[in-house]
């Protein structure tokens, strides 16, 4: 990635005001990477602003700088005022402008260069002047750490920025359980620990900080809503808007639900579906060689990684579930072979 980092340094020379964008429904990696990047840009004397298309989960609000993130959905006028005078846009943790949802159209028409920092498969290269993308990295935070290293910015990192990077790595790997077989990931973690972060505290802030209604929603989802399809080695959970409302759903409350069905013996594919006002959001996890990136790209206009991907459906919830089950039929042999 040396050449791209050189190019990045070159592009940064002429810009001052930088808009850092995360994807819709932002997760710990998006927010952590965005905040750490903003810190580094400030260290370079730049003037960054971090944006998210919509609100991010409560369990990330403790991150230093999180309160300054501009939520496009809630502050459109303010967001556009800042975006209109930005010299550059840096997108973190997504690979296609469509992942900006309601913010995408406005961003597309802004006449400034766009840079990508990401780790998802197949970035939409024509949408960016530069793609700093490393698909083997566990998280965008890990990619950013390497960029920071190559840029010689490690000495400028403070505890807050390191906590943000660690949070990105921790959340995208489900606390270092998935998608982190590369020794290099743990070398990066070791280096972050050298800065004096308290990883147990960060774990508690993210994973042991839920409202009781979130736990009750999880219990309900597993007990009453999980459907196992042994013939496809698949399990899914579909929650309607009414069900989410009943448990006082807040953004982020269902984060991680998709992982639970994979604990069932012989289940190699898990899908979590939730009904939003405007669409159905699907989240996929798999074990082994079954590519949920490919599955979601083919059937649910989504993608992501080999074993973790997202998707969208504009059909009603029931019809989306039917489509899911029908689509699985095509993959029966592949699922059996995992």
Q: Residues interacting with Mn ion, by CB under 5 A? A: 29, 93, 139-140, 172
Which is closer to Mn ion, CB of 29 or CB of 243?
29
Which is closer to Mn ion, CB of 86 or CB of 308?
308
Shortest Cβ distance from residue 264 to Mn ion (Å)?
25
Which is closer to Mn ion, CB of 26 or CB of 48?
26
Shortest Cβ distance from residue 143 to Mn ion (Å)?
9
Under 8 Å CB-to-CB from 180, ≥6 apart: which residues?
Answer: 138, 169, 173, 186
Q: Two tokens at 53? A: 């298309």
SS3 42: helix
Shortest Cβ distance from residue 119 to Mn ion (Å)?
6
Under 8 Å CB-to-CB from 102, ≥6 apart: which residues?
Answer: 24, 53, 54, 72, 73
Q: How many helices (H) and strands (E) does the chain have?
A: 13, 12
Cα 201 from Cα 215, distance rounded (Å): 20
Which is closer to Mn ion, CB of 139 or CB of 270?
139
Which is closer to Mn ion, CB of 12 or CB of 180?
180
Q: Could you tell me how many residues make up the chain? A: 338
If one counts every other C-beta atom within 10 angstroms of the C-beta of residue 79, the result is 21
Cα 130 from Cα 98, distance rounded (Å): 17
Shortest Cβ distance from residue 33 to Mn ion (Å)?
7
Which is closer to Mn ion, CB of 312 or CB of 320?
312
**Is there a contact between 131 and 121 (Cβ–Cβ < 8 Å)?**
no
Which is closer to Mn ion, CB of 140 or CB of 167?
140
Phi, psi of 227 (to 5 degrees): -115, 130
Q: Two tokens at 5? A: 């980092």
CB burial string 121-151: b at 16+ within 10 A, e below: bebeeebbebbbbbeebbbbbbbbbbbbebb
């Amino acid at each position: 990635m040396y050449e791209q980092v050189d190019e990045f340094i070159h592009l940064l020379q002429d810009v001052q005001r930088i808009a850092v964008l995360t994807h819709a429904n932002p997760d710990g990696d998006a927010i952590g990477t965005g905040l750490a990047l903003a810190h580094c840009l400030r260290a370079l004397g730049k003037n960054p602003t971090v944006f998210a298309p919509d609100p991010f989960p409560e369990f990330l609000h403790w991150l230093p700088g999180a309160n300054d993130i501009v939520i496009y959905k809630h502050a459109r006028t303010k967001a556009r005022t800042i975006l209109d005078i930005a010299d550059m846009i840096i997108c973190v943790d997504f690979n296609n402008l469509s992942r900006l949802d309601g913010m995408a159209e406005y961003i597309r028409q802004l006449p400034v260069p766009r840079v990508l920092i990401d780790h998802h498969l197949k970035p939409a290269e024509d949408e960016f002047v530069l793609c700093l993308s490393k698909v083997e990295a566990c998280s965008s935070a890990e990619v950013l750490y390497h960029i920071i290293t190559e840029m010689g910015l490690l000495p400028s990192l403070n505890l807050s920025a390191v906590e943000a990077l660690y949070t990105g790595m921790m959340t995208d790997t489900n606390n270092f359980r998935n998608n982190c077989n590369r020794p290099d990931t743990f070398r990066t973690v070791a280096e972050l620990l050298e800065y004096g972060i308290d990883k147990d505290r960060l774990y508690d802030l993210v994973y042991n900080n839920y409202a009781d209604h979130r736990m009750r929603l999880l219990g309900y989802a597993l007990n009453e809503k999980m459907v196992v399809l042994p013939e496809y080695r698949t399990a899914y959970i579909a929650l309607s808007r009414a069900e989410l409302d009943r448990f006082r759903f807040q953004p982020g409350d269902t984060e991680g639900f998709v992982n639970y069905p994979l604990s069932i013996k012989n289940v190699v594919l898990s899908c979590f579906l939730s009904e939003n006002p405007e669409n159905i959001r699907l989240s996929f996890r798999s074990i082994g060689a079954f590519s949920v990136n490919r599955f979601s790209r083919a059937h649910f206009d989504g993608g992501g990684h080999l074993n973790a991907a997202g998707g969208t459906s504009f059909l009603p919830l029931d019809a989306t579930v039917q489509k899911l089950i029908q689509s699985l039929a095509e993959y029966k042999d592949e699922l059996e072979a995992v």
